Amino acid sequence: MSEFREIRKRIENYRRGLEERVKETCIIVVLLGAGGEGLRKRRKIRRKLEKNGILGLIPEDDFSPDVAPSVTEEAVLERADVDLIFVNVESWGSATEFAQFHDKKLIAPKLRVLVPYKHHPLYGSSKSYLTDLYLTHLAIYGHVYAYDDEWESIFPTSEKIIVTLSLRYRRLKAIGKI
Amino acid sequence: MEEARRMLKIYRVLDNDHRLNILITLFNEPDMAFNDIARETGIERGLLAYHLGLLRRVGLVEMEYDRRSKKSTKYRLTDEGVKILKELKLVKAYKKA
């Protein structure tokens, strides 16, 4: 039994009242990816998500500097109340994160993998260990998306994919389908 | 609409035992270091970093970071954090003797 049972009931009532008023719910989304330009892109996406009432977390910005990011990420992604985890595989670091999480039963279903279209197992032409992992993840969970942030092809940008999927997920959650 | 969305984010974050525990701990002892919060609440460090991140994100908790200090981070409730705890009548029930 929760120590805060009564208070949680009150919080839930407030939350439901607000959800009724704005006709939406709030989800928590974690954005993983590369540093540098990748981090700037994620911050921009987070601003867009937050404008739409979605809580976006970026480990480098939001998690405490007292703990190594890898420790935090694994603990969080396995046991916290995160709704979706987007990993943009655009560097060796983020490729390692994907390889680390893709077969963890508690993490993999929440994982949405974004791959530059040239490396996507169906649309691209590259053949590597990673392409094989993408294909496996695609076959089991179906969430490997090709993106193009350079506007060279018909594929959507990573921002469009993340925002579109998050908004739809939130809507489905609000009407109780998730 | 904006304000309702902001409050919805706050209530989504509050709807968790660990985070309520952290808020009460910080109300009772402001300016706590990360490791002290971990010890006091019994929350695993990795998970604690996440919960504190969410509480900061919605503006209920703020962090002070000092690279030179051994206890490098200090956390405290913001004015809004204190206000919400009082509104929910949480602090009355859980204030340390």
pLDDT of residue B92: 63
Determine, for residues B34 and A10 on separate chains, whether the beta-carbon distance falls below 8 Å. no
Query: Strand pairing of A28-32 and A55-57?
Result: parallel
The sheet with strand B32-33 has its strands ordered as B32-33, B73-77, B61-65
pLDDT of residue B83: 93
Residue in A114, A43, A103 with CA at minimum distance from that of residue A77: A103
Determine, for residues B8 and A24 on separate chains, whether the beta-carbon distance falls below 8 Å. yes
Judge whether B72 lies within some domain: yes
Residues of A in contact with B63 (CB under 8 A): 64
The answer, yes or no, to whether residue A1 has pLDDT greater than 60, is no
Residue range A4-14: average pLDDT? 88
Min distance A35 CA to chain B CA atoms (Å): 19
Q: What is the pLDDT of residues B25-43, one digit of tens each?
A: 999 999 999 999 999 999 9
Question: What percent of chain B clears pLDDT 90, i.e. is strictly above it?
Answer: 71
Q: What is the pLDDT of residues A84-141, one digit of tens each?
A: 999 999 888 889 889 888 888 899 999 999 999 999 999 999 888 899 999 999 999 9
Judge whether B20 lies within some domain: yes
The answer, yes or no, to whether residue B80 has pLDDT greater than 50, is yes
**Among the residues of chain B, which ranges form H helices?**
2-14, 17-28, 34-41, 45-57, 79-87, 90-94
The answer, yes or no, to whether residue A20 has pLDDT greater than 60, is yes
Residues of B in contact with A76 (CB under 8 A): 46-47, 49-50
Judge whether B67 lies within some domain: yes
The answer, yes or no, to whether ipTM is higher than 0.95 is no
Judge whether B77 lies within some domain: yes
Residues of B in contact with A29 (CB under 8 A): none
Residues of B in contact with A26 (CB under 8 A): 5, 8-9, 11-12
User: Which pTM was predicted?
Assistant: 0.91
Assigned token pair, A60: 């480098």
Q: With H, G, I as helix, E, B as strand and everything else as coil, classify residue A75.
A: helix
Q: Beta partners for A114? A: A88, A145
The sheet with strand A55-57 has its strands ordered as A55-57, A28-32, A84-88, A111-116, A144-147
Determine, for residues A62 and B54 on separate chains, whether the beta-carbon distance falls below 8 Å. yes
Q: What is the pLDDT of residues A35-89, one digit of tens each?
A: 999 999 999 999 999 999 999 999 999 988 888 877 778 888 888 899 999 999 9
CA distances from A148 to A15, A32, A44 (A): 37, 17, 16
Judge whether B93 lies within some domain: no
Judge whether B68 lies within some domain: yes
- Count up the domains in chain B and report the number: 1
Distance CA B24, CA B60 (A): 12
CATH code, B69: 1.10.10.10
Range of the domain at B7: 2-87
pLDDT of residue A7: 87
**Domains of chain A and CATH, by start:** 27-174 (3.40.50)
Place of tokens 């977390």: A57
Judge whether B92 lies within some domain: no
Judge whether B82 lies within some domain: yes
